Structure 1
Protein backbone atom coordinates (compact mmCIF):
# COMPACT_ATOMS: atom_id res chain seq x y z
CA UNK A 1 0.00 0.00 0.00
CA UNK A 2 1.16 3.52 -0.73
CA UNK A 3 0.91 4.57 2.93
CA UNK A 4 3.32 1.83 4.01
CA UNK A 5 5.71 2.53 1.14
CA UNK A 6 5.79 6.23 1.96
CA UNK A 7 6.43 5.50 5.64
CA UNK A 8 9.10 2.87 5.06
CA UNK A 9 10.87 5.12 2.56
CA UNK A 10 10.97 7.85 5.20
CA UNK A 11 12.36 5.41 7.76
CA UNK A 12 15.21 4.56 5.39
CA UNK A 13 15.89 8.27 4.77
CA UNK A 14 15.99 9.10 8.48
CA UNK A 15 18.46 6.37 9.38
CA UNK A 16 17.07 6.00 12.91
CA UNK A 17 17.41 2.72 14.78
CA UNK A 18 13.98 2.65 16.44
CA UNK A 19 10.68 2.21 14.59
CA UNK A 20 7.38 2.23 16.48
CA UNK A 21 4.33 0.86 14.67
CA UNK A 22 1.13 1.89 16.45
CA UNK A 23 -1.72 -0.50 15.67
CA UNK A 24 0.71 -2.89 13.98
CA UNK A 25 -1.87 -5.57 13.22
CA UNK A 26 -0.46 -7.89 10.56
CA UNK A 27 2.21 -5.43 9.41
CA UNK A 28 5.06 -7.42 7.83
CA UNK A 29 7.84 -4.80 7.80
CA UNK A 30 10.00 -6.43 10.49
CA UNK A 31 9.93 -9.80 8.70
CA UNK A 32 11.16 -8.54 5.33
CA UNK A 33 13.29 -5.42 5.87
CA UNK A 34 17.03 -5.27 5.17
CA UNK A 35 17.33 -2.26 7.51
CA UNK A 36 19.00 -2.55 10.89
CA UNK A 37 16.27 -1.19 13.12
CA UNK A 38 14.51 -2.24 16.30
CA UNK A 39 10.79 -2.53 15.64
CA UNK A 40 8.22 -1.99 18.39
CA UNK A 41 4.85 -3.40 17.36
CA UNK A 42 2.11 -1.81 19.47
CA UNK A 43 -1.38 -3.31 19.46
CA UNK A 44 -4.09 -4.94 21.54
CA UNK A 45 -2.94 -8.14 23.28
CA UNK A 46 -5.53 -10.29 21.49
CA UNK A 47 -4.41 -9.00 18.10
CA UNK A 48 -0.78 -9.71 18.93
CA UNK A 49 -1.57 -13.25 20.06
CA UNK A 50 -3.42 -13.83 16.78
CA UNK A 51 -0.48 -12.52 14.75
CA UNK A 52 2.05 -14.61 16.67
CA UNK A 53 -0.05 -17.72 16.09
CA UNK A 54 -0.26 -16.97 12.36
CA UNK A 55 3.51 -16.51 12.22
CA UNK A 56 4.06 -19.80 14.04
CA UNK A 57 1.60 -21.61 11.77
CA UNK A 58 3.46 -20.26 8.73
CA UNK A 59 6.83 -21.31 10.13
CA UNK A 60 8.04 -17.70 10.30
CA UNK A 61 10.45 -16.98 13.13
CA UNK A 62 10.01 -13.65 14.87
CA UNK A 63 13.35 -11.83 14.55
CA UNK A 64 15.09 -10.56 17.67
CA UNK A 65 14.67 -7.04 16.28
CA UNK A 66 10.93 -7.19 17.08
CA UNK A 67 9.39 -6.23 20.41
CA UNK A 68 5.66 -6.71 20.96
CA UNK A 69 4.11 -3.94 23.05
CA UNK A 70 0.57 -4.77 24.23
CA UNK A 71 -1.60 -1.65 24.52
CA UNK A 72 -5.24 -0.60 24.18
CA UNK A 73 -5.18 3.02 22.99
CA UNK A 74 -8.58 3.78 24.50
CA UNK A 75 -8.00 2.25 27.92
CA UNK A 76 -4.27 2.14 28.66
CA UNK A 77 -1.87 5.03 28.90
CA UNK A 78 0.81 6.22 28.87
CA UNK A 79 2.33 4.83 25.71
CA UNK A 80 5.89 5.74 26.68
CA UNK A 81 6.05 3.52 29.74
CA UNK A 82 4.87 0.52 27.73
CA UNK A 83 7.55 1.18 25.11
CA UNK A 84 10.31 1.59 27.69
CA UNK A 85 9.34 -1.71 29.32
CA UNK A 86 9.84 -3.33 25.91
CA UNK A 87 13.34 -1.86 25.52
CA UNK A 88 12.63 1.43 23.75
CA UNK A 89 15.10 4.22 24.47
CA UNK A 90 13.15 7.51 24.81
CA UNK A 91 16.39 9.47 24.65
CA UNK A 92 17.07 8.43 21.05
CA UNK A 93 15.04 9.56 18.02
CA UNK A 94 12.60 7.23 16.32
CA UNK A 95 10.01 7.08 13.59
CA UNK A 96 6.47 6.47 14.81
CA UNK A 97 4.02 5.05 12.29
CA UNK A 98 0.27 5.31 12.99
CA UNK A 99 -1.60 4.01 9.94
CA UNK A 100 -5.18 2.83 9.67
CA UNK A 101 -5.97 3.43 13.34
CA UNK A 102 -7.11 6.95 14.26
CA UNK A 103 -10.54 6.59 12.65
CA UNK A 104 -11.40 3.93 15.26
CA UNK A 105 -10.41 6.13 18.21
CA UNK A 106 -11.99 9.02 20.05
CA UNK A 107 -10.27 12.36 19.73
CA UNK A 108 -9.39 12.11 23.42
CA UNK A 109 -7.48 8.86 22.84
CA UNK A 110 -5.73 10.37 19.83
CA UNK A 111 -4.73 13.38 21.94
CA UNK A 112 -3.33 11.18 24.70
CA UNK A 113 -1.13 9.35 22.23
CA UNK A 114 0.06 12.58 20.59
CA UNK A 115 0.94 13.93 24.01
CA UNK A 116 3.10 10.86 24.66
CA UNK A 117 4.83 11.14 21.28
CA UNK A 118 5.61 14.81 21.88
CA UNK A 119 7.73 13.78 24.87
CA UNK A 120 10.04 11.57 22.81
CA UNK A 121 13.52 12.64 21.76
CA UNK A 122 14.01 15.57 19.37
CA UNK A 123 14.43 14.27 15.84
CA UNK A 124 11.57 11.82 16.32
CA UNK A 125 8.97 11.92 13.55
CA UNK A 126 5.36 10.76 13.37
CA UNK A 127 3.50 9.67 10.25
CA UNK A 128 -0.21 9.44 11.00
CA UNK A 129 -3.07 8.53 8.68
CA UNK A 130 -6.45 10.16 9.25
CA UNK A 131 -9.75 9.86 7.41
CA UNK A 132 -11.18 12.97 5.82
CA UNK A 133 -14.64 14.30 6.74
CA UNK A 134 -17.30 13.31 4.21
CA UNK A 135 -17.37 16.77 2.60
CA UNK A 136 -13.69 16.46 1.61
CA UNK A 137 -13.86 12.99 0.03
CA UNK A 138 -14.20 12.45 -3.70
CA UNK A 139 -16.94 10.27 -5.16
CA UNK A 140 -14.87 7.09 -5.08
CA UNK A 141 -13.67 7.77 -1.55
CA UNK A 142 -17.19 8.38 -0.32
CA UNK A 143 -18.49 5.20 -1.95
CA UNK A 144 -15.72 3.19 -0.31
CA UNK A 145 -16.37 4.84 3.05
CA UNK A 146 -20.08 4.03 2.95
CA UNK A 147 -19.36 0.35 2.35
CA UNK A 148 -16.51 -0.10 4.80
CA UNK A 149 -17.92 2.10 7.54
CA UNK A 150 -21.05 -0.03 7.76
CA UNK A 151 -19.06 -3.26 7.79
CA UNK A 152 -16.70 -1.95 10.46
CA UNK A 153 -19.57 -0.85 12.67
CA UNK A 154 -21.26 -4.23 12.27
CA UNK A 155 -18.08 -5.87 13.58
CA UNK A 156 -17.97 -3.59 16.61
CA UNK A 157 -15.33 -1.20 15.26
CA UNK A 158 -17.17 1.96 14.17
CA UNK A 159 -15.33 4.86 12.62
CA UNK A 160 -15.33 7.65 15.19
CA UNK A 161 -12.97 10.43 14.15
CA UNK A 162 -12.53 12.30 10.86
CA UNK A 163 -9.99 15.10 10.49
CA UNK A 164 -9.08 17.47 7.69
CA UNK A 165 -5.43 18.36 7.12
CA UNK A 166 -6.01 21.66 8.94
CA UNK A 167 -7.70 19.98 11.89
CA UNK A 168 -4.91 17.43 12.26
CA UNK A 169 -2.28 20.16 12.03
CA UNK A 170 -4.04 22.09 14.80
CA UNK A 171 -4.26 18.99 16.97
CA UNK A 172 -0.57 18.29 16.48
CA UNK A 173 0.37 21.87 17.40
CA UNK A 174 -1.80 21.63 20.50
CA UNK A 175 0.52 18.81 21.59
CA UNK A 176 3.72 20.64 20.65
CA UNK A 177 4.32 18.59 17.51
CA UNK A 178 5.35 20.42 14.34
CA UNK A 179 3.48 19.44 11.14
CA UNK A 180 5.84 19.02 8.19
CA UNK A 181 3.65 17.90 5.30
CA UNK A 182 0.30 16.39 4.34
CA UNK A 183 0.41 13.68 1.68
CA UNK A 184 -2.54 12.31 -0.28
CA UNK A 185 -2.34 9.06 -2.17
CA UNK A 186 -2.67 11.08 -5.36
CA UNK A 187 0.51 12.93 -4.35
CA UNK A 188 2.54 9.73 -4.71
CA UNK A 189 2.24 9.07 -8.48
CA UNK A 190 5.31 6.84 -8.65
CA UNK A 191 3.42 4.26 -6.61
CA UNK A 192 0.55 4.15 -9.10
CA UNK A 193 2.15 2.91 -12.30
CA UNK A 194 -0.39 0.13 -12.59
CA UNK A 195 -1.96 -1.67 -15.50
CA UNK A 196 -5.30 -2.32 -13.82
CA UNK A 197 -8.17 -0.01 -12.86
CA UNK A 198 -7.13 0.48 -9.24
CA UNK A 199 -6.61 4.17 -8.49
CA UNK A 200 -6.15 6.25 -5.31
CA UNK A 201 -9.12 8.02 -3.75
CA UNK A 202 -9.63 11.11 -1.62
CA UNK A 203 -10.44 9.26 1.58
CA UNK A 204 -7.48 9.66 3.91
CA UNK A 205 -4.33 11.74 4.31
CA UNK A 206 -0.90 11.01 5.71
CA UNK A 207 0.42 13.78 7.91
CA UNK A 208 4.10 13.88 8.85
CA UNK A 209 5.17 15.77 11.97
CA UNK A 210 8.20 15.98 14.22
CA UNK A 211 9.00 16.47 17.86
CA UNK A 212 10.14 20.05 18.39
CA UNK A 213 13.63 20.78 19.69
Structure 2
Protein backbone atom coordinates (compact mmCIF):
# COMPACT_ATOMS: atom_id res chain seq x y z
CA UNK A 1 0.00 0.00 0.00
CA UNK A 2 1.30 3.43 -0.91
CA UNK A 3 -0.11 6.85 -0.05
CA UNK A 4 0.65 10.46 -0.94
CA UNK A 5 3.43 9.58 -3.34
CA UNK A 6 5.34 7.61 -0.71
CA UNK A 7 7.27 4.45 -1.51
CA UNK A 8 6.09 1.20 0.01
CA UNK A 9 6.96 0.86 3.72
CA UNK A 10 8.81 -2.33 2.89
CA UNK A 11 11.09 -0.51 0.44
CA UNK A 12 11.89 2.12 3.07
CA UNK A 13 12.57 -0.45 5.79
CA UNK A 14 14.91 -2.44 3.54
CA UNK A 15 16.84 0.66 2.48
CA UNK A 16 17.09 1.79 6.10
CA UNK A 17 18.53 -1.60 7.04
CA UNK A 18 21.17 -1.37 4.31
CA UNK A 19 22.06 2.20 5.28
CA UNK A 20 22.17 1.39 9.00
CA UNK A 21 24.52 -1.53 8.39
CA UNK A 22 27.27 0.94 7.49
CA UNK A 23 26.50 3.16 10.50
CA UNK A 24 25.70 0.72 13.29
CA UNK A 25 27.49 -2.56 12.63
CA UNK A 26 31.18 -3.28 12.97
CA UNK A 27 33.40 -4.05 10.00
CA UNK A 28 33.97 -5.64 7.70
CA UNK A 29 30.61 -4.89 6.04
CA UNK A 30 28.66 -7.79 4.61
CA UNK A 31 27.24 -5.60 1.84
CA UNK A 32 28.00 -1.99 0.94
CA UNK A 33 25.20 0.27 -0.26
CA UNK A 34 26.41 3.87 0.14
CA UNK A 35 23.33 5.30 -1.59
CA UNK A 36 20.71 3.70 0.66
CA UNK A 37 20.87 6.70 3.00
CA UNK A 38 20.29 9.14 0.13
CA UNK A 39 17.23 7.23 -1.06
CA UNK A 40 15.55 7.48 2.34
CA UNK A 41 15.10 11.21 1.77
CA UNK A 42 13.13 12.99 4.49
CA UNK A 43 12.57 9.72 6.34
CA UNK A 44 16.28 9.12 6.95
CA UNK A 45 16.59 10.58 10.46
CA UNK A 46 13.45 8.82 11.66
CA UNK A 47 14.25 5.38 10.25
CA UNK A 48 17.95 5.38 11.04
CA UNK A 49 17.27 6.72 14.52
CA UNK A 50 15.74 3.39 15.50
CA UNK A 51 18.85 1.51 14.39
CA UNK A 52 21.20 3.99 16.06
CA UNK A 53 19.34 3.82 19.37
CA UNK A 54 18.33 0.16 19.42
CA UNK A 55 20.66 -1.45 16.88
CA UNK A 56 21.25 -4.58 18.95
CA UNK A 57 17.52 -5.33 19.22
CA UNK A 58 16.91 -8.72 17.56
CA UNK A 59 14.27 -7.35 15.18
CA UNK A 60 16.38 -4.44 13.92
CA UNK A 61 19.53 -6.57 13.76
CA UNK A 62 17.49 -9.23 11.97
CA UNK A 63 16.30 -6.70 9.40
CA UNK A 64 19.89 -5.67 8.70
CA UNK A 65 21.05 -9.28 8.52
CA UNK A 66 18.33 -10.14 6.01
CA UNK A 67 18.91 -7.08 3.82
CA UNK A 68 22.67 -7.39 3.58
CA UNK A 69 22.74 -11.19 3.22
CA UNK A 70 20.42 -11.23 0.22
CA UNK A 71 22.17 -8.24 -1.34
CA UNK A 72 25.56 -9.88 -0.94
CA UNK A 73 24.46 -13.19 -2.46
CA UNK A 74 22.63 -11.69 -5.42
CA UNK A 75 25.28 -9.20 -6.48
CA UNK A 76 28.06 -11.79 -6.02
CA UNK A 77 26.10 -14.05 -8.38
CA UNK A 78 25.59 -11.20 -10.84
CA UNK A 79 29.33 -10.53 -10.86
CA UNK A 80 30.03 -14.18 -11.71
CA UNK A 81 27.41 -14.25 -14.45
CA UNK A 82 28.70 -10.99 -15.91
CA UNK A 83 32.12 -12.61 -16.28
CA UNK A 84 30.36 -15.26 -18.38
CA UNK A 85 28.78 -12.61 -20.61
CA UNK A 86 25.36 -12.07 -19.02
CA UNK A 87 24.57 -8.36 -19.38
CA UNK A 88 20.88 -8.05 -18.47
CA UNK A 89 19.65 -7.70 -14.90
CA UNK A 90 15.92 -7.60 -14.07
CA UNK A 91 15.13 -6.45 -10.52
CA UNK A 92 11.56 -7.45 -9.64
CA UNK A 93 10.27 -5.37 -6.75
CA UNK A 94 13.33 -3.13 -7.02
CA UNK A 95 12.21 -0.77 -4.28
CA UNK A 96 15.08 1.56 -3.39
CA UNK A 97 17.78 -0.75 -4.77
CA UNK A 98 20.77 1.32 -5.87
CA UNK A 99 22.77 -1.17 -7.95
CA UNK A 100 22.53 0.85 -11.16
CA UNK A 101 23.93 4.01 -9.55
CA UNK A 102 26.85 2.67 -7.49
CA UNK A 103 28.19 -0.61 -8.88
CA UNK A 104 31.03 -0.93 -11.36
CA UNK A 105 28.98 -3.71 -12.94
CA UNK A 106 26.40 -1.11 -13.99
CA UNK A 107 28.74 -0.16 -16.83
CA UNK A 108 28.51 -3.72 -18.15
CA UNK A 109 24.94 -4.71 -17.31
CA UNK A 110 21.60 -3.27 -18.42
CA UNK A 111 19.31 -2.94 -15.38
CA UNK A 112 15.51 -3.13 -15.52
CA UNK A 113 13.87 -1.96 -12.30
CA UNK A 114 10.32 -3.25 -11.84
CA UNK A 115 8.13 -1.80 -9.09
CA UNK A 116 5.08 0.27 -8.20
CA UNK A 117 4.99 3.77 -9.73
CA UNK A 118 5.00 5.70 -6.43
CA UNK A 119 8.18 3.99 -5.24
CA UNK A 120 9.87 4.72 -8.56
CA UNK A 121 8.79 8.36 -8.50
CA UNK A 122 10.21 8.81 -4.99
CA UNK A 123 13.46 7.21 -6.02
CA UNK A 124 13.90 9.22 -9.21
CA UNK A 125 13.18 12.48 -7.41
CA UNK A 126 15.78 11.78 -4.73
CA UNK A 127 18.37 10.71 -7.31
CA UNK A 128 17.78 13.97 -9.15
CA UNK A 129 18.07 16.04 -5.96
CA UNK A 130 21.38 14.34 -5.18
CA UNK A 131 22.68 15.00 -8.69
CA UNK A 132 22.88 11.28 -9.46
CA UNK A 133 22.23 10.61 -13.13
CA UNK A 134 20.12 7.64 -14.16
CA UNK A 135 22.34 5.75 -16.62
CA UNK A 136 21.04 5.12 -20.12
CA UNK A 137 21.50 1.42 -19.32
CA UNK A 138 18.79 1.58 -16.65
CA UNK A 139 15.05 1.37 -17.31
CA UNK A 140 12.13 1.86 -14.90
CA UNK A 141 9.21 -0.52 -15.41
CA UNK A 142 6.07 0.48 -13.45
CA UNK A 143 4.20 -2.70 -12.52
CA UNK A 144 1.83 -4.13 -9.88
CA UNK A 145 2.37 -7.88 -9.41
CA UNK A 146 -1.07 -8.43 -7.87
CA UNK A 147 -3.24 -6.25 -10.09
CA UNK A 148 -1.73 -6.34 -13.60
CA UNK A 149 -1.70 -9.35 -15.93
CA UNK A 150 1.68 -11.04 -15.85
CA UNK A 151 1.95 -10.95 -19.64
CA UNK A 152 2.07 -7.16 -19.43
CA UNK A 153 5.41 -7.41 -17.65
CA UNK A 154 7.03 -9.04 -20.66
CA UNK A 155 5.59 -6.35 -22.92
CA UNK A 156 6.91 -3.56 -20.68
CA UNK A 157 10.36 -5.11 -20.47
CA UNK A 158 10.69 -5.59 -24.21
CA UNK A 159 9.46 -2.04 -24.84
CA UNK A 160 12.24 -0.83 -22.55
CA UNK A 161 14.91 -2.72 -24.52
CA UNK A 162 15.05 -6.10 -22.80
CA UNK A 163 16.16 -8.83 -25.21
CA UNK A 164 14.13 -12.03 -24.77
CA UNK A 165 16.69 -13.87 -26.85
CA UNK A 166 19.60 -13.36 -24.44
CA UNK A 167 20.06 -14.68 -20.90
CA UNK A 168 19.61 -12.45 -17.87
CA UNK A 169 19.74 -12.56 -14.10
CA UNK A 170 16.37 -11.93 -12.47
CA UNK A 171 16.27 -11.06 -8.77
CA UNK A 172 13.04 -11.19 -6.77
CA UNK A 173 13.89 -10.29 -3.20
CA UNK A 174 11.60 -9.40 -0.32
CA UNK A 175 8.42 -9.71 -2.41
CA UNK A 176 6.88 -13.19 -2.57
CA UNK A 177 5.71 -13.19 1.06
CA UNK A 178 3.37 -10.29 0.20
CA UNK A 179 1.81 -12.02 -2.81
CA UNK A 180 -0.69 -14.81 -3.30
CA UNK A 181 0.59 -18.13 -4.68
CA UNK A 182 -1.32 -17.38 -7.89
CA UNK A 183 0.49 -14.08 -8.41
CA UNK A 184 3.84 -15.74 -7.69
CA UNK A 185 3.12 -18.45 -10.25
CA UNK A 186 2.10 -15.96 -12.91
CA UNK A 187 5.37 -14.07 -12.52
CA UNK A 188 7.35 -17.31 -12.64
CA UNK A 189 5.58 -18.05 -15.93
CA UNK A 190 6.93 -14.76 -17.27
CA UNK A 191 10.50 -15.56 -16.20
CA UNK A 192 10.27 -19.04 -17.74
CA UNK A 193 9.67 -17.34 -21.08
CA UNK A 194 13.06 -15.62 -20.98
CA UNK A 195 16.05 -17.04 -22.84
CA UNK A 196 17.44 -20.42 -21.74
CA UNK A 197 20.32 -19.86 -19.37
CA UNK A 198 18.50 -17.06 -17.57
CA UNK A 199 18.96 -17.33 -13.80
CA UNK A 200 16.46 -16.40 -11.09
CA UNK A 201 17.13 -15.65 -7.42
CA UNK A 202 13.84 -15.60 -5.51
CA UNK A 203 13.51 -15.03 -1.77
CA UNK A 204 10.78 -16.83 0.15
CA UNK A 205 9.91 -17.32 3.81
CA UNK A 206 9.76 -20.73 5.45
CA UNK A 207 6.51 -21.83 7.14
CA UNK A 208 6.15 -22.22 10.90
CA UNK A 209 7.91 -25.34 12.09
CA UNK A 210 10.85 -24.92 9.72
CA UNK A 211 12.25 -21.79 11.37
CA UNK A 212 14.71 -21.63 14.23
CA UNK A 213 13.84 -19.79 17.44
CA UNK A 214 15.24 -16.47 16.23
CA UNK A 215 13.47 -16.83 12.89
CA UNK A 216 10.15 -17.56 14.56
CA UNK A 217 10.46 -14.57 16.90
CA UNK A 218 11.36 -12.30 13.99
CA UNK A 219 8.46 -13.60 11.91
CA UNK A 220 5.91 -13.08 14.68
CA UNK A 221 7.02 -9.49 15.31
CA UNK A 222 7.49 -8.37 11.72
CA UNK A 223 4.42 -10.15 10.34
CA UNK A 224 2.18 -8.28 12.78
CA UNK A 225 3.84 -4.95 11.96
CA UNK A 226 3.57 -5.57 8.22
CA UNK A 227 -0.13 -6.35 8.48
CA UNK A 228 -0.67 -3.20 10.52
CA UNK A 229 0.83 -1.03 7.80
CA UNK A 230 -1.25 -2.67 5.07
CA UNK A 231 1.32 -5.14 3.73
CA UNK A 232 0.34 -8.52 5.23
CA UNK A 233 2.48 -11.60 4.69
CA UNK A 234 0.44 -14.02 2.61
CA UNK A 235 2.66 -16.86 1.42
CA UNK A 236 5.20 -19.15 3.10
CA UNK A 237 6.97 -21.88 1.18
CA UNK A 238 9.27 -24.67 2.23
CA UNK A 239 12.27 -25.43 0.04
CA UNK A 240 10.40 -28.43 -1.37
CA UNK A 241 7.29 -26.37 -2.07
CA UNK A 242 9.29 -23.66 -3.83
CA UNK A 243 11.13 -26.25 -5.91
CA UNK A 244 7.80 -27.82 -6.91
CA UNK A 245 6.36 -24.40 -7.78
CA UNK A 246 9.37 -23.59 -9.94
CA UNK A 247 9.13 -26.90 -11.80
CA UNK A 248 5.39 -26.39 -12.27
CA UNK A 249 6.23 -23.16 -14.08
CA UNK A 250 9.00 -24.66 -16.23
CA UNK A 251 12.01 -23.53 -14.20
CA UNK A 252 14.78 -25.78 -12.89
CA UNK A 253 15.78 -25.33 -9.21
CA UNK A 254 19.56 -25.11 -8.75
CA UNK A 255 20.20 -24.32 -5.08
CA UNK A 256 18.54 -23.09 -1.89
CA UNK A 257 20.68 -20.80 0.24
CA UNK A 258 20.06 -19.61 3.80
CA UNK A 259 21.61 -16.54 5.39
CA UNK A 260 24.54 -18.34 6.98
CA UNK A 261 25.51 -19.72 3.55
CA UNK A 262 25.78 -16.46 1.59
CA UNK A 263 29.45 -16.10 2.49
CA UNK A 264 32.30 -17.93 4.17
CA UNK A 265 31.37 -18.93 7.76
CA UNK A 266 34.19 -16.74 9.06
CA UNK A 267 32.26 -13.74 7.78
CA UNK A 268 29.61 -14.36 10.44
CA UNK A 269 32.15 -14.35 13.28
CA UNK A 270 31.26 -10.79 14.18
CA UNK A 271 31.49 -8.46 17.17
CA UNK A 272 28.22 -6.70 16.30
CA UNK A 273 24.61 -7.91 16.56
CA UNK A 274 24.34 -9.49 13.10
CA UNK A 275 23.54 -13.20 13.37
CA UNK A 276 22.13 -15.41 10.60
CA UNK A 277 18.80 -17.02 11.43
CA UNK A 278 16.48 -19.49 9.73
CA UNK A 279 13.49 -17.83 8.10
CA UNK A 280 14.24 -16.52 4.61
CA UNK A 281 15.65 -18.66 1.82
CA UNK A 282 17.22 -17.58 -1.46
CA UNK A 283 16.32 -20.13 -4.09
CA UNK A 284 18.23 -20.09 -7.34
CA UNK A 285 16.72 -21.49 -10.53
CA UNK A 286 17.34 -21.31 -14.24
CA UNK A 287 15.43 -21.39 -17.50
CA UNK A 288 16.21 -24.74 -19.16
CA UNK A 289 16.61 -25.25 -22.91
CA UNK A 290 13.33 -25.88 -24.65
CA UNK A 291 12.88 -29.03 -26.73
CA UNK A 292 14.33 -28.49 -30.19
CA UNK A 293 15.55 -25.01 -29.37
CA UNK A 294 19.02 -23.88 -30.38
CA UNK A 295 21.23 -22.45 -27.62
CA UNK A 296 20.96 -18.72 -27.01
CA UNK A 297 23.48 -16.68 -29.00
CA UNK A 298 26.45 -15.21 -27.13
CA UNK A 299 25.93 -11.75 -25.65
CA UNK A 300 26.42 -8.97 -28.16
CA UNK A 301 27.17 -5.29 -27.75
CA UNK A 302 24.78 -3.50 -25.47
CA UNK A 303 22.23 -1.44 -27.28
CA UNK A 304 21.53 1.46 -25.00
2:209 is paired with a residue whose SS is helix
1:31 alignment partner in structure 2: 101
1:207 alignment partner in structure 2: 283
- 2:116 counterpart of 1:70: no
**How much has 1:189 moved relative to structure 2?**
4.3
- 2:200 counterpart of 1:126: yes
Aligned length: 213
Structure number with higher helix proportion: 2
Deviation string, structure 1 residues 154-196 (Cα, Å, up to 9, x no partner): 1110000000000000000001100000000112343424221
1:11 alignment partner in structure 2: 78
Q: Is the 8 A contact 2:72 2:262 kept in 1?
A: no
Q: CA RMSD in A?
A: 1.1
Distance 1:59 1:153 in 2: 36
1:41 alignment partner in structure 2: 113
**How much has 1:105 moved relative to structure 2?**
0.4
**How much has 1:58 moved relative to structure 2?**
2.3
Moved beyond 6 Å, runs of 4+: none
Alignment TM-score, normalising by the size of structure 2: 0.68
- 2:213 counterpart of 1:139: yes
Q: Is the 8 A contact 2:199 2:284 kept in 1?
A: yes
Distance 2:156 2:213 in 1: 41
2:182 is paired with a residue whose SS is helix
Q: 1:107 aligns with which of 160, 181, 189?
A: 181
1:173 alignment partner in structure 2: 247
Distance 1:188 1:114 in 2: 23
2:30 alignment partner in structure 1: none
Distance 1:195 1:61 in 2: 37
**How much has 1:197 moved relative to structure 2?**
2.4
Q: Which moved more, 1:57-66 or 1:10-19?
A: 57-66
1:97 alignment partner in structure 2: 171
2:131 alignment partner in structure 1: 59
Is there any run of 5+ residues in structure 1 with no aligned partner, and where?
none
Higher-Rg member (1/2): 2
Distance 1:45 1:196 in 2: 36
Deviation string, structure 1 residues 98-152 (Cα, Å, up to 9, x no partner): 0000000000000000001001001100000001101111111111111111111
Distance 1:7 1:53 in 2: 26
